[in-house]
Amino acid sequence: MPLSVPTLPEGIDPAWLPPDAFRPLGERRTSIRGSGPFVETVHGEVAEACEQFGGEVVRGAGTGTSHDLVLCQGDDDLGDEGFTYERADGTTTVTASGRRGLLYGLFHVVRLGEKAFRGACPREAHRPAVALRMLDHWDNVAVHPVMGQVERGYAGGSLFWRDGRSRGEWQRVRAYGRLLAACGINAVSVNNVNVHETEAHLLTDRIGEVAGIAGVLRPYGIRTHLSVTFAAPVVLGGLPTADPLDEAVRAWWAEAAARVYAAIPDFGGFVVKADSEGQPGPFTYGRSHADGANMLAAALAPHGGTVHWRAFVYDHHQDWRDRTTDRARAAYDHFAPLDGEFADNAVLQVKHGPMDFQVREPVSPVLGAMPRTRLAVEVQATQEYTGQQRHVCWLGPMWSEVLRFRPEGEGGVAVGESARGGLVAVSNVGDDPFWTGHPLAQANLYTFGRLAWQPVADPHRILDEWIALSFPSAPQRLATGLRTLLHGSWRTYEKYTAPLGVGFMVQPGHHYGPSVDGYEYSPWGTYHFADRDGVGVDRSAATGTGYAAQYAKPWAEVYESPATCPDELLLFFHHVPYGHVLHSGKTVIQHIYDTHFEGVAEAEEARRVWAGLAGLVDPARHARGAERYEEQLRSAREWRDQINSYFFRKSGVPDERGRLIH
């Protein structure tokens, strides 16, 4: 029988699935043909829409009048998630051979809206370019004394956990799974990669709570994954060691995996942060990361599971006086020599940049250096360093640049094409009524899902999809205003924060707001080396840390010299004088002044545009956005004044336009 559509608790924003988005479908006659759990999910969605808007849904071919839409199982070989779409003779037909394809086909029709029922369209085949499209939740089961219920979460508490136990609010979790399916996400890791003692028990005596979440997400095609601690055999099993080559340890993991799959037959696998920022790992036992990952892969292999092994490994006890040590080099130095040594069901999960989700970084050289290893690209939707969902910073253009980057140069394979292990985003969702804190931050989650499905897609077209779904029947002024607010928001944020790729000029710990020297003398390896003569990190092969040489020749040559390095990455790769002339024709110091004044002006204009949309946006949404824009503008001014004053005092060079610098 059809699965009912989840009911949102009162006051919870519908995000990109408001009832009106289903109006074109719900006003028509639909035939659903096939059987199985996902067909019942589809049936429930169509039945709900028809009940609201006066249409009709029938099972099978039906009799009498023709159908406006046919959703059916067929024989096309498009895998588990693919579907075909066509419109002829007044009927729109979606056919899927796999289990989840019909679900994705339905949401394709919803995205098209009225266009799905007009004119003719020859048969199109749709299938995801990337098999695994996952969100990593950094949710803690127990409230952490420093990081709270969600580490680096900016949208309230966890959807899954509260005060040490499962929340059990299944309607909200089901609604979340529905939102994810509608943008193409098919996997979720439900707990923090920093696994504390309480979270460790989810693997064993508390696996039933994970099974509850998995059962609620399953009807929308979402597989559940779990972050585990590498030291679990010691922490949970009482063994004296977690050595990945120890037979007792391997047996313990095999038994643990078997118990997990007994509780969750379609369990996706483990996510592991090891030998990173204090988390235990194979280095303790003189073993490699391939040894550690392969041990877990062997435990998961009989059940079809995958281990996602994060490549975020570096020295976080660095001596700031030592300019030969470079955190940016670390992932490549650790992992590139291991290419070809990882098991087939082990995925190396690599951050898109070499540092840590800064507003501007080069693409990680690891993504072009390990052709014999399944790599997953990890991005961060939660905006840790890009405004924490208090600032509007739509990240679609950044992610698109990464996914289109060709590590071998022109003619080579793009990152999005080579990500055989999947695309992963750190979740930006919490129990906030708007899911993401700032209503406009929903665009980041939607955009990630759609780019993960099709990495070559135009992010601006995806943004238009999000606007059309989230604001059905929006007048042109509203759609235009939303595009204005979001299209350039990443570059606006970059303008009033850290310049030219230098990064990490943030308050230590919580990472919100400016502190130019906040990490400059710390052990974290996050330096800008500004002095009276210049600024930036020399990462050249000739005179610096050698990081530039980790890239294939075309890019190594581009990044090696200040003369060829792109302006936006200049200070990431080079230490240059304040009077160095950029390709733009400006000096570095004048660029810093100009962009910070421009960024604040653009933030002021964005606040004005949002205020002008007050009568066109739901009052609660608009009030939350207005509150956040006030904070964004306050913070942008603080960034401008601190950055400009700092570099004026360092350089002694005045602003050529004579503006106020404190």
Distance, in Å, from the CA atom of 350 to the CA atom of 44, rounded to the nearest integer, reads 38
From 13, 199, 209, 356, active-site residue: 356
Strand partners, 379: 425
Choice among 199, 326, 361, 384 that is catalytic: 384
Q: 277, 319, 517, 627: which is the annotated catalytic residue?
A: 277
Amino acid at the residue 592? I
Among residues 450, 428, 425, 427, the alpha carbon closest in space to that of 439 is found at 428
Taking the C-alpha atoms of residue 257 and residue 201, their distance in angstroms, rounded to an integer, is 13
- Using CA atoms, how far apart are residues 488 and 394, in angstroms rounded to an integer? 8
Owner of token pair 């020399």: 538
Residue 520 appears among annotated catalytic residues: no
Q: Which residues contact 60 (CB under 8 A, 6 or more apart)?
A: 31, 32, 33
Residue 74 tokens, joined: 């067929």
Which residues, in sequence order, are bridge partners of residue 85? 94, 124
Answer for the pair 308, 269: CB distance below 8 angstroms, yes or no.
yes
- Measured N-to-C along each axis, helices 207-217 and 247-263 cross at an angle, to the nearest 10 degrees, of 50
C-alpha to C-alpha distance for 264 and 213, rounded to whole angstroms: 10
Helices 588-612 & 476-487 angle (0-180, nearest 10): 160
- Residues paired with residue 59 on neighbouring β-strands, in sequence order: 32
Two tokens at 350?
């690599």
Residue 277 known to be catalytic: yes
Spatial distance between the Cα atoms of 404 and 410, rounded to a whole number of angstroms: 11
Is there a catalytic annotation at residue 384?
yes
In a 13 Å sphere around the CA of 442, the CA atoms on its Cβ side amount to 24
Cα 571 versus chain centre, distance? 26
CA distance linking residue 376 with residue 424, whole number of Å: 7
User: What CA–CA distances, in Å, run from 153 to 13, 139, 309, 452?
Assistant: 18, 8, 22, 22
Burial (Cβ within 10 Å: 0-12, 13-18, ≥19) of residue 130? buried
Task: Give the contacts of 298 (CB within 8 A, at least 6 positions apart).
Answer: 250, 253, 254, 343
Exposed / middle / buried, residue 480 (Cβ in 10 Å: 0-12, 13-18, 19+): middle
Alpha helices in 151-206 (DSSP H): 170-183, 197-200
Residue 614 contacts by C-beta under 8 Å, 6 or more apart in sequence? 622, 626
Beta bridge partners of 29: 56
**Which structure tokens are listed for 576?**
């240059």
* Structure token digits, residue 367: 């993504």
Write out the catalytic residue numbers.
Answer: 277, 356, 384
